[in-house]
Every structure is written in structure tokens, then in C-alpha cells.
Structure 1
């Protein structure tokens, strides 16, 4: 161990050394250079990572695969197609109802000569019709909407007209999508957990005594995948893309619990029905809804207005089918 006296003497000698400050300055310069080198390397690494992310996740052509496992799927950008893993990823419909049991009805009240119970029955029939026409699994698979038609008044021409459109769909005014949501089972199947709905009903007296007018406004979201054995590759390896369709329907249904001339008791009469279909090929009229997958949408000529399909603040315009290019699905 060094003698403390010698150690102190050496420190005093070094303090008087004229080269001491220059040695300190040189040491500081070396430290600064090392820090700068480390910082530059880190900056280059970050720049390389940013370039990789842009190259692999956003700037490639739409028909080129995205980077595998770059992000967890729930964190993928909304511009990337949804997949069968998370068919409603990024959609505001994720938390909506999945079926009839979750569709609330307004509290019934007596209207004119109709009792509270009669109004409740009319509202229940209207909800049953909405479900049978747009949520029934068999109907979504392209089946005949028998229950929906059964709920309509057979004495009114609207039922026969809708049934004829189902038998012989075609332009200009024979499109079954005017009232029913069906997909061609040879081409598409509804993805698991791929159906959502939100909407509301209201009621008021009808145009004649003993009649109830029911106003319904519902938006349906469907996630579809190619029917087996075909599949649409997703944005990353080992994923399968889904196409989403947003269908909004505004209906006016008349209900009379008691029969009268030309009216069947307990049946519904569709007095007005409007629909807006987002991400549907409106040039094809065969009784089915035809969604675009991402590559198809990019290549297709879609001469329809770009609209937010979730905007429920305005009414659907009266007239023929309103086709839109959805700003989001």
C-alpha cells in the first residue's frame, strides 16, 4: 500500500504539471467523440427501423404482402384489411348487438284505440321481421326469407311484389336487396362473430283508426369470407381476409291488430322501405349482396358517392337503391 505522504506529494506535483489541463481536455474530447459515435449509431438504427416499417407495412403496393408479425393484429392500421381472426377490427360496430335478443324496443304505450299490449305486439312483430330479413342465418346463407314474408299481409301487393323479386331478380326494379340481406353461398360465408346491428324503432298512430305506424332505422355490418375451399389471402402470411358490408335500412311498417276490409289482422304492411349498401357491387342484381375484397375494390370502377356508412344523422334518400363507396367499414 502506498505511503499517504507520498500519495499527497504526488497529487501536488500533478497539480503543478502544466500538461495536466491539456490532458483533461483531451480526455473530454475523447468522451464526446464516443458519445457522438454511439448517438449516430442509434440514429442510424432508428432510421433503418423507420425505413423497414415504411417499406414493409405501409408503402408497398396493395397487392404485395405486408410484413409478417410486424405488429399484433389488433394494432394493425385501419387501412389494412380485416381478417377472420378479428373480422371487425377497427370497426365502430365491434360493440354492437349480435342478434335479436340485444335489440331493444321502445316502451309501448296506448295509441288511439290501440292498447298498450297491442302496441307491444306490433313492435315485437316489426323486430321479428327486421331480424328474419337481415339476421336469420339461413337467409344470410342465401336461403328463402320465408318467415319474413310470412309476417307480411298477404292481402297487400307489397308481399307479392317482394316474392316476385326473389323468384326473378333483375333490373330495373326487381332487386331483392331492397328488403333482404342474402349472400351467395357458393361464393361467400359469414365469418364467425362477423355480424353486428344497431338501430331503433319509434311508433305513432297510423293513417286510419286502429292502425299503428312503426318507424325502424337499423344499420347492419357483415364480415364475409370466401366460401370453402377458396380463401382470400390476408395482409400477412397465414391470414385470411374478410370483406365488410354496411347495410342501412329505414322502414315504415303498418300494423293492425284487428282485421278490416283488405287488411289481415296481426300482419305487417311495408309502406316505405329505403336501403343504403356500402361496399356492394350495385351493377350485379341477382338477389345477393356482393362485397368487394380489398384488391377488387382498388381495381373496380365504383361510380358512387363516398359516404360514411355509419352516419345515421340524415335519412336515406327516397327512390331506388342507394349505393355508396364507404369511407370506412
Structure 2
């Protein structure tokens, strides 16, 4: 399998729908007689006056009509927040420029960075995964050995061994099923990726914020923002002539605001009427800034942090 085959990417693109307003008008055709004492222009005036009197309240018909929305403009879900100026979705996942380094060619480095970006899209932007479904897009990007381990430990609640003691759901960002729906298709993204030497080749470290606008299903008045801080590390090397990207760590370090008293790998949003979360309440007392990229790798979640 060639590096190009190993690193393929499919990025879905949603095209926004446009609404079109149809405006009905009246078309008047005037035929003037050759012997008429009134000019064609006067005939048009007379006919328009007749139309206006027959349709009281409408008034003169303008040449161009522009619809006016009298409803107050609703603020977007990211307005008046620091996420407002973040890039939209995958556009915020900017990778360093590719160049030959650490025993890898420029082509190898470019392919590796492409794979890392794919991994972040699959783990934090794939709609099925984000809404609590099976993270197939992420699973398909893993190397075979890691893929088998991820599948075995996905959503595991018991039966762990010393070797397999981890619920791999924590490697992707998923809201617990039926707890949230996206208020908009846009997810705001900000962060960076850095490259360094690894004993077998290159290490790619990613540090990104993903800001979601969510609401309780069917309840738009519960809309709020959730900030997920993602930290990851991928080791890239050549093995048997093939380029291999091994996910060494892939973790959502903190989510704000979210419940802390449920440890199942999913994000459980907090709403105004949610049951009291004693763990999250204590964490909130010492909460940091959810928008800081240098906040470290400690996991925490909070109730009332402003986002």
C-alpha cells in the first residue's frame, strides 16, 4: 500500500440553502388608437389610477419591490464570544508547512499532516460521532492494530484487564445520545499543530479548541456554547517502506460546561434544570479559562464557566 493510498481524505461540504422570495406584480399592456386624443403616456396614467382605486390600500406599484423583515435580528450562537472570530470547522485545522525532516521526505510529511487533520475532523467534527453515534470515520483512519484495540474498548463499562483499561470513546468528542442537538452546522475551531523529532521519525502534537453551539433536542431556548479542548500526539515513521501514523494519545482534555459526575466517555451537557453536580460545582470554584490553549492536559469540567 502506497503512502498516497494510506492517506486519503474525504471532506464533506454542505452547501447552504438559499431562500428566494417571489414577488407578484401587475403587468399592463396599452394599445393606443391612431386617432386617440390622449397620448400613450396619459393612457398609462389613467389605467394605473384605475388599478389603484380598484385595489384600496395597496397604493402605487413601485418598479422594484424589496422584502423587509420586520422581525428583530437574532444574534448568532457565537456572537459576543471569543469564538466568534475563530475559523469555521476544518478551516481552523491549519497544519505546519511540509518539508523533509527527521528521516522523512517532504511527501511523507505532507501525507502525515493530512492524516492528522483527517483524524481531528473525524473525532471532533464528524456529525455522527459528535451526536453520540459510532465513530466509524475515526476508526477507519487508524492503523489495523490500533483499530482492533479501539473497537474492542469502545464504550466498555466492565470487563477491563490490566492491558485494556480504557474506554476509547474518550478519544473522540461525543455528546451523550439524545442529550444535545447542534444549533448550527458551524463548529468554531482554533489552535495549532507542532512538529518534533521522535526516536522512530516525527511526532505531531495538536492543541485545538472546538466550540459547539448546542441545545436540548427540540428546545432552542436552551441553546448555549460548549468548549472542548483537544490535545493529541501522533507518531509518524516508515515501516517496511510504508508510512505509518500511530495515534499515541488523543484526548479531549476538558469540556466546559459539562457534567463531571458521569464517567462514560461521553460529554453530558448541563442545562439550567439539570440535576445538581457536586463534582462539577467544586471544579467550577477553581475553573480556568476554557479558551486558553496553554491550560495543560488535566481533565476538568465545570458548570458555569462563561463561554
- After superposition, give the CA deviation of every residue in 1:157-202 in whole Å (9 maximum; x if it has no partner): xx44432332424799544452111123423211114521111111
Match of 2:305 in 1: 327
CA distance in 2, matches of 1:267, 1:325: 40
Query: 1:151 pairs with 129, 132, 141, which one?
Result: 141
- Quick check: 2:89–2:186 contact (8 Å CA) kept in 1? no
CA distance in 1, matches of 2:214, 2:157: 22
Query: 1:217 pairs with 186, 197, 207, which one?
Result: 207
CA distance in 2, matches of 1:194, 1:226: 17
> Structure 1 pair 90/101, CA: closer, same or farther in 2 (3 Å)?
closer
CA distance in 2, matches of 1:326, 1:253: 33
Task: Report the number of matched residues.
Answer: 227
- After superposition, give the CA deviation of every residue in 1:130-152 in whole Å (9 maximum; x if it has no partner): 11000011211222111212222
- Quick check: 1:190–1:222 contact (8 Å CA) kept in 2? yes
* Secondary structure, counterpart of 2:209 in structure 1: strand
1:290 Cα deviation (Å)? Answer: 0.9
Match of 1:280 in 2: 258
* Secondary structure, counterpart of 1:192 in structure 2: coil
* Secondary structure, counterpart of 2:239 in structure 1: coil
Query: 1:296 pairs with 274, 292, 303, which one?
Result: 274
* Bigger mean CA deviation after superposition, 242-251 or 147-156: 147-156
Q: Looking at secondary structure, tell me which structure has more helix per residue.
A: 1
> Structure 1 pair 310/254, CA: closer, same or farther in 2 (3 Å)?
same
Q: TM-score, normalised by structure 2?
A: 0.65
> Structure 1 pair 96/142, CA: closer, same or farther in 2 (3 Å)?
same
Check if 1:164 corresponds to 2:156.
Answer: no
- Quick check: 1:188–1:226 contact (8 Å CA) kept in 2? yes
Match of 1:306 in 2: 287
Match of 1:136 in 2: 126
Check if 1:96 corresponds to 2:95.
Answer: no
Matches within 5 A, 1:64-213: 86-156=76-146, 159-169=147-157, 174-208=166-200, 211-213=201-203
* Secondary structure, counterpart of 1:294 in structure 2: coil
- Quick check: 2:86–2:189 contact (8 Å CA) kept in 1? yes
* Secondary structure, counterpart of 2:138 in structure 1: helix
- Quick check: 2:193–2:207 contact (8 Å CA) kept in 1? yes
- Quick check: 2:88–2:187 contact (8 Å CA) kept in 1? yes
Match of 1:254 in 2: 235
CA distance in 1, matches of 2:181, 2:229: 20
CA distance in 2, matches of 1:259, 1:117: 16
- After superposition, give the CA deviation of every residue in 1:73-107 in whole Å (9 maximum; x if it has no partner): 87xxxxxxxxxx53223320112122213422111
1:259 Cα deviation (Å)? Answer: 2.2
Gaps of 5+ in 1: 1-71, 75-84, 233-239
Q: TM-score, normalised by structure 1?
A: 0.61
CA distance in 1, matches of 2:188, 2:104: 33
RMSD over equivalenced CA pairs, Å: 2.7
